[in-house]
Structure 1
Amino acid sequence: MHFELTGEQRDLVARLRDSGPLLSTPDREAGGRSAWETAAKLGVTGLCLPEEHGGGGLGALDTALSFEALAQGGADPGLLFGLAAHLLACGIVLAEHAHGDVRADLVAGLCSGAVVAGNAMTEAQAGSDTSRIATTAVADGDSYLIDGTKSFVSNAGLADVYVTYAMTTPGGGHLGMSAFAVPANLPGVRVAEPLEKLGLTGCAAAVVEFTGCRVPRDHLLGAENAGSGVFAKSMVWERACLPAIFVGVMDHQLRRCVDHVRGRRQFGRRLGDFQAVSHRIAVMKQRLESSRLLMYRACWLIDRDDPGAGAAAALAKAAVAEAAVDNGVDAVKVFGARGYLAADGIGQQLLDALPLHIFSGTTDIQRELVVKGLGI
């Protein structure tokens, strides 16, 4: 088993880690476009998309390494989350399932940063159970009429296109769902005010309503009623690669904790000289490294088209979620009162980590996928 990165991978990681500060404070003016333009210049908006359309052509492991490096360098986790949604939940889908000119135009736009993508799957009554989505798409000549409401749409308001899932065979459950590329400027698309979140504020999220929205038939992604398969593959990529953001944050967080316990003194001793503190740091390191290895393994399996990649990605996401939240709590304890101050950012890292247990399928859902992978 080989753990060393190649020279090319080391160069990629070093370049993006050094570039992290350029993405540290998302510009919320003009819809945050300036931050995305910076990300596009760094090649982040097209990391894993085809080179023929201007993308980086990276596999899952190199994509994860890229997000980890940016977070290590201090890039805003919310902005990185939005970029990951753009790439993993949307870009992968568009590159593999869009057709003809629609594919070429949208994927090239995603790579250049001219087009921002948002994923519209979740609904008020359909979270982890995607078979319950109520949004419908009715064939009407050379178009589909889409009606429904999507919630928690990442990049909503900023996005130029929404990868949208709707029932083309009502009552068909997973076998009746289809995927569409819905341009945000079509009549019948309305984006509500951004949702106020506790964390990941660098990524806007909102409710998106579709009312009699006429979508050209050539914007169907894949085949009709094949949306579940389209969505499932994108989720394997998202579950494996998106947690890299939080692995990078944990790495940065741990370094700050080590510096703090080396420098701060209480009762005439360094904090790090107290075993209760030093052992807490050791456990934080253990969680970080073990979850990182599970993530790398899942990405490695994706790159090899291994049938076990889905279960491995689920296992990795669950591990990173638990590690990031537990390390976030421990970091606040290490910093004491300072850890609760907004200015130091330690408490915010905990708030940013909490949604890991929710998005891309809850941690409980990940465990169900692991169990199925074991044949139970």
Structure 2
Amino acid sequence: MIEWNEDQIALREGLDAWHEALSADHVENDEDGTFSWEKWKLVKESGILSLPFDERWGGLGQDLLTMMYVLEGLGEGCRDGGLCFSVTTSICSLGIPLEKFGSAALKDKYLPRITSGDAIGAHAISEPSGGSAALQMKTRADRDGDEFVLHGSKTFVSNGPIADLFMVYARTHPDGGPLGVTAFLVERDTPGFEIGNPIKKMGLRTSPLSELFFDECRIPATQVVGRVGGGFLVLDHVMKREILFSFIVNVGEMQHRLDRCIDYATKRTQFGKPISTYQSIANKIVDMKIRLETSRKWLYDTAERLLRGQNVTTDMAVAKLLTSEANLASSLAAVQIFGGNGYMAEYGLEKDVRNAVAGTIYSGTNEIQYNRIASMLGL
């Protein structure tokens, strides 16, 4: 059990003043599938985007565990799950790898824009024919002197319609396997780069998603993040933080949902007594508590092991599996506990179900996580 210090608690509690405004009209915005620029202004003002980055680029220099602790609070207090997802995407997809692997010139040019929220980040990995087989990508980047020329397309790009900066992964060697992929930082208005229209989706609707297209898109070699052929190292670093950051937000959401269900079950009466006195309801709530605490422990324990430099391949897969499935089970249980009310859109619980389904798919589908764990077991 981590004992949070006063500074960490103050950072998390400092977001409390923003939660109501960030949650405003979350049901209506989800129904419309709209990204709120007004809410993004509030996100910028809150300072949460700057937390994990060094002070020289306008950041607050907070460590991994502190960042997760604050994001857990965001998940607990903000009911706009899509907005939370756009926040973690911008931080993880572009800011985190840029600070770790980018050249000094790239950091100086772009990191202040990411930490302030003036630029929104996205990353482009998946392709229409590839899905979770990221290393089999067909998008290629051909060297031409001091430039690379990108050809191909990407799909399922969260923040795509609104992003200013993109971390694009492309093949730079046809037979290089993991060593044949390179990460490029691409600006939105680069000639030959086209952003598709927003794609309608089941959940997380306030976090827009699109395809990307590259046709003779010329990128200066100075825009390579890391080294040529080192894109897999960049991607591995990104995916670990993406799992820890996005799913600790889910832990906060599960905490809010648990508290809400306890309050409802103790006040709602059927046949003359609170429904919480019925074992079928009480057991659902107990299961919600167990899944919540198990997910929370796995995520923080995995983060601590990562900080110690240990191999967390299995831990990361288990944490992702547990949390995504716990979040989905928790959201379904909440609908059942609220009964007919839970099925109504105005209560926001059916939205939670749709959002939770996404967690079993993004950051590597749960089927891929099972395969990864099996491989680590020598199966």
Aligned to 1:109: 113
Structure 1 residue 341 corresponds to structure 2 residue 339 = no
1:366 to 355, 365, 369: 369
State how many pairs are aligned: 374
Aligned to 2:183: 179
Name the stretch that deviates more: 150-159 or 51-60.
Answer: 51-60
Q: Given the superposition, is the C-alpha separation of residues 282 and 325 from structure 1 closer, same or farther in structure 2, using an over 3 Å criterion?
A: same
Q: Given the superposition, is the C-alpha separation of residues 148 and 247 from structure 1 closer, same or farther in structure 2, using an over 3 Å criterion?
A: same
Aligned to 1:133: 137
Query: What's the offset of the Cα at 1:42?
Result: 1.1
Aligned to 1:351: 354
SS in 2 for 1:198: coil
Q: Given the superposition, is the C-alpha separation of residues 190 and 326 from structure 1 closer, same or farther in structure 2, using an over 3 Å criterion?
A: same
2:46 to 27, 42, 48: 42
Instruction: List structure 1 segments (4+ residues) > 6 angstroms apart after TM superposition.
Output: 26-31
User: What is the CA–CA distance in structure 1 between the aligned matches of 2:38 and 2:216, rounded to whole Å?
Assistant: 33
Query: What's the offset of the Cα at 1:375?
Result: 5.4
Aligned to 2:126: 122
User: What is the CA–CA distance in structure 2 between the aligned matches of 1:30 and 1:371, rounded to whole Å?
Assistant: 40
Name the stretch that deviates more: 66-75 or 29-38.
Answer: 29-38
Query: What's the offset of the Cα at 1:22?
Result: 2.7
Aligned to 2:325: 322
Structure 1 residue 302 corresponds to structure 2 residue 306 = yes
| TM-score normalised by L of structure 1 | 0.95
Q: How does 1:1-376 map to 2 (within 5 A)?
A: 2-25=1-24, 32-304=36-308, 306-374=309-377
Query: What's the offset of the Cα at 1:330?
Result: 0.7
SS in 1 for 2:150: strand
SS in 2 for 1:243: helix
SS in 2 for 1:242: helix
SS in 1 for 2:339: helix
User: Is the 2:35–2:208 contact (alpha carbons within 8 Å) kept by the matching residues of 1?
Assistant: no
User: Is the 2:34–2:208 contact (alpha carbons within 8 Å) kept by the matching residues of 1?
Assistant: no
User: Is the 1:318–1:357 contact (alpha carbons within 8 Å) kept by the matching residues of 2?
Assistant: yes
Which stretches in structure 1 are left out of the alignment for 5+ residues? none
| TM-score normalised by L of structure 2 | 0.94
Query: What's the offset of the Cα at 1:177?
Result: 0.6
Name the stretch that deviates more: 134-143 or 294-303.
Answer: 294-303
User: What is the CA–CA distance in structure 1 between the aligned matches of 2:372 and 2:364, rounded to whole Å?
Assistant: 10
User: Is the 1:31–1:157 contact (alpha carbons within 8 Å) kept by the matching residues of 2?
Assistant: no
Deviations 1:24-60, CA, capped at 9 Å, x for gaps: 2478999643322211211122221222101122222
Deviations 1:113-170, CA, capped at 9 Å, x for gaps: 1111111111011221112111010111111110111001111121111100000002
The root-mean-square deviation of aligned C-alpha atoms, in Å, is: 1.8
Name the stretch that deviates more: 8-17 or 227-236.
Answer: 8-17
Query: What's the offset of the Cα at 1:373?
Result: 4.3
Q: Given the superposition, is the C-alpha separation of residues 8 and 358 from structure 1 closer, same or farther in structure 2, using an over 3 Å criterion?
A: same
- The amino acid across from 1:151 in the alignment is T
